[in-house]
Amino acid sequence: MTDITAKSRRQFLSYLAASPLAGALSGINLAHAADVVSSPADAIDIFDLEATASGNIPMAHWGYLATGVNGDSTLRANRTAFEKYFLRSRRLIDVGNVDTSVEILGTRWPTPIILAPLGSQKAFHAEGEIASARAARARNHLQLLSTVTSTPVEEVAEARDAPIWFQLYTMGGWSGVKARLRRAEAAGCPVVVLTVDLAGGTSARHTLLRAIKKDTRDCAVCHQGDGVAAQGKPMLDGMDNDAEVSLTWEFLDRLKQETTMKVFVKGIVTAEDAERSLEHGVDGIIVSNHGGRADESGRGSIDSLAEVASAVRGRTTLFMDSGIRRGVDIFKALALGADAVMVGRPYIWGLGAFGQPGVERALEILTDELRVAMQSFGTPTLADIGPDNIDSF
């Protein structure tokens, strides 16, 4: 697609300001005084990058990034649920040398902040996933790549210059799944992450549909076919993308037998499914509601984490995503039992605002905020963060 005009951007921002959707889109809190900034260094927090990106990204693409499901109640709950939890500060502890590092499957990372798999990143910046990979390389963060990436796994792995993890959808049937597994393995991916919260392959993303109606560009320039098999999805090339595989526990077993990669499941939100995941021998669980984009449960992901962590009890690697916007959010997730967290929209806001430097700034902001939180609450290392640090109203 060609770049959206300045006039169209102004029209869309005016539409948002007057719309009842304002505040629902991407969890924007209108009480927060975010600024449009002219350089990454000028961003005070993540929301400044969001404000800047919203003026750069075409409105239909912004709608894709910002949307939840139906009335976006789960999208909003992902933020408001954090407010139910408060943190307990410990004093007179030496926090002069805070260590934010974490070990994940035998590899030590400088922070527990992981780049979540978010597809079609060239919709937000011309360099797309390559810019994100270079930012992850510069700051040494673990990166997950989406099946619907707009850049092939081989190129992203080369740009990251370190192993990346691959997120798996089931388009193309079992033959398509196997083809993607082989490519991910050949690219050096040590882990495949099966997303299990889009069993029907789609969801009712009304905010996206409304944004598309307001975008005057010709979308056919970029998109062809039925949308799933859209142009620019290299991991789906040459496949019958109408063919699907039912997401079942039997499929999970078959997947584990088919690949040499470790297998995580993403989208687990209940204790029952966490227990069953362990019974099926998964290597890790990611608590996630797809950033509010999968189903309209109305439940915040941080609440699901509290339930799942109580069931897992440290028996496997546990991540959480959906709704994290600040360092204290990360601290709360770690206190409730997550080993690490994944962020999606925050680093994409950086991407849309400034490309690679914007992604680096987003990761820097979150890391710095986490470090300040650890000092504030008397936890010199991530291992010191635990249930004694958190409670709920």
The burial class, CB within 10 Å (0-12 / 13-18 / 19+), for 10 is exposed
How many other CB atoms sit within 10 Å of the CB of residue 15? Answer: 16
DSSP type of residue 3: P
- Assigned token pair, 332: 């709360």
Helices (H), the chain: 6-18, 46-56, 59-66, 73-80, 128-139, 153-160, 173-186, 206-214, 249-258, 271-279, 301-312, 327-335, 345-354, 356-376
Known catalytic residue: 141?
Answer: no
Four-CA torsion 114, 120, 125, 130, nearest 10 degrees = 60
Using an 8 Å Cβ cutoff, are 201 and 242 in contact? no
Side-chain-side CA neighbours of 170 within 13 Å: the count stands at 21
* Residue type present at position 256: K
Task: Give residues with Cβ within 8 angstroms of 236, minimum separation 6.
Answer: 147, 148, 171, 172, 176, 228, 229
Using an 8 Å Cβ cutoff, are 38 and 31 in contact? no
- Selected catalytic residue, list 61, 125, 141, 290: 290
Active site residues: 290
